[in-house]
Amino acid sequence: MDQDFNVKIIDFGLSCSIFGSTGKGYDTTKTGTQGFQAPEILHQFPVYNSQVIDVFALGVVLVLLATGIPPFNHANLKDHRFVKL
């Protein structure tokens, strides 16, 4: 993170526009490493919010940095942590 707490983790090999493939912040491309992919990507939702997906991956990275252990091998919609409230 920089002095203003902006996250500076990136992988250009898996990156896409912040506006997504639709130009409105949504995407349809399945990208990323399985352990960092949100349930929407793993379960192949036809369209997802790309910024929300990035926040999910950041959460996985932060857990990994804090504990040294990934929170899961891959996200699963049946897991109680992914149920919408």
Distance, C-alpha 42 to centroid of its chain = 11
Read off the pLDDT of residues 47-76 as tens digits, 9 standing for 90 and up: 878 778 888 888 888 888 899 988 887 777
Q: Nearest Cα to 28, choosing from 38, 20, 36? A: 20
- pLDDT interval class at 85 (50, 70, 90): very low
Region 4-24 average pLDDT: 70
Residue 55: inside a domain, yes or no? yes
Residue 3: inside a domain, yes or no? no
The yes-or-no verdict on residue 11 having pLDDT over 80 is no
Residue 4: inside a domain, yes or no? no
CA distance 52 to 38: 9
C-beta separation of 26 from 53 below 8 A: no
Residue 29: inside a domain, yes or no? yes
pTM score, whole prediction = 0.69
Residue 43: inside a domain, yes or no? yes
- What are the helix (H) ranges across the chain? 39-42, 50-67
Residue 21: inside a domain, yes or no? yes
Residue 7: inside a domain, yes or no? no
Q: How many C-beta neighbours within 10 Å does residue 53 have?
A: 20
How many structural domains does the chain have? Answer: 1
What is the domain range of residue 62?
Answer: 12-82
DSSP 44: T
C-beta separation of 58 from 50 below 8 A: no
